[in-house]
Amino acid sequence: MITRRNMLKDVMVGGVGAALGSSLVPSAFATSEIGTPAVGKPKRVIFFMQNNGFHTDTCIPKGMRESASLSDAKLPESIKPLEPYLDKINIINGLHGRHTTPTHSAYYGALGGYPGGEHRAPSAGTIDHTLSNLLPQTILPHLRIGMGDLSSMEGQPSVAALSASEAGKPLYMHCNPNHLYQTLFGSIADGEVKRKYEAKSRIFKEVESIAAKGKNELLESDLTRYESYVEGFSEINDLRGKLSAYSESLNKFKPEHSEKYLSPEYETDWHDALLDIGIAALRSGLSNTLTIASGRGDVWGSWEGLGVKTTGHFLGHMEQEGNPIWHKIRQYNCRMLVKLMKSLESVPEGNGTMMDNTLIVYTSNNADKQHTDGSTWPFILLGNCSGAFKTGHFVQFDGSRPINALYSTILDAVGAPCDRYNMDKTNATKYDSSFGPLRELLA
Local mean pLDDT, 10-residue blocks, the chain (443 residues): 43 42 34 58 92 95 94 96 98 98 94 95 97 94 96 94 94 93 84 71 60 61 59 65 83 93 96 98 96 95 95 89 94 98 96 97 96 96 96 98 98 94 95 96 96
229 lies in a domain? no
Buried b (16+ CB within 10 A) or exposed e, 256-270: ebeebbeebebbbbb
81 lies in a domain? yes
Contact present, 50 and 199 (Cβ < 8 Å): no
Contact present, 145 and 274 (Cβ < 8 Å): yes
Residues 6+ apart with CB under 8 A from 225: none
241 lies in a domain? no
Residues 6+ apart with CB under 8 A from 323: none
- Helix (H) or strand (E) segment spanning residue 281: helix 267-283
253 lies in a domain? no
pLDDT per position as a tens digit, 289-324: 999 999 999 999 999 999 999 988 899 889 998 999
225 lies in a domain? no
pLDDT of residue 195: 74
226 lies in a domain? no
Pairing mode, if any, of strands 89-93 and 379-382? antiparallel
CATH of the domain at 409: 3.40.720
**Mean pLDDT over all residues of the chain?**
86
Contact present, 339 and 24 (Cβ < 8 Å): no
- Cα dihedral 398→399→402→403 (10° resolution): 80
pLDDT of residue 247: 85
Contact present, 173 and 160 (Cβ < 8 Å): yes
Of 46, 91, 99, 97, nearest in space to 70 by CA: 91
Residues 6+ apart with CB under 8 A from 261: 177, 178, 181, 270, 273
Region of 392 on the Ramachandran plot (φ > 0 left; ψ -120 to 50 alpha; else beta): left
- Cα dihedral 18→238→229→146 (10° resolution): 10
pLDDT of residue 117: 92
- 116: domain range? 33-177+265-431
151 lies in a domain? yes
Provide the number of structural domains found in the chain: 1
285 lies in a domain? yes
What global pTM score does this model have? Answer: 0.88
Of 384, 380, 366, nearest in space to 337 by CA: 380
DSSP 172-236: EEE--HHHHHHHHHGGG--HHHHHHHHHHHHHHHHHHHHHHHGGGGS-HHHHHHHHHHHHHHHHH
pLDDT of residue 9: 43
Q: How far apart are the C-alpha atoms of 160 and 111, rounded to whole Å?
A: 13
pLDDT of residue 42: 82
Q: How far apart are the C-alpha atoms of 49 and 367, rounded to whole Å?
A: 10
Main-chain phi, psi angles of 359, to 5 degrees: -125, 130
pLDDT of residue 244: 77
Of 204, 201, 186, 196, nearest in space to 250 by CA: 186
pLDDT per position as a tens digit, 41-90: 789 999 999 999 999 999 999 889 999 999 999 999 999 999 999 999 99
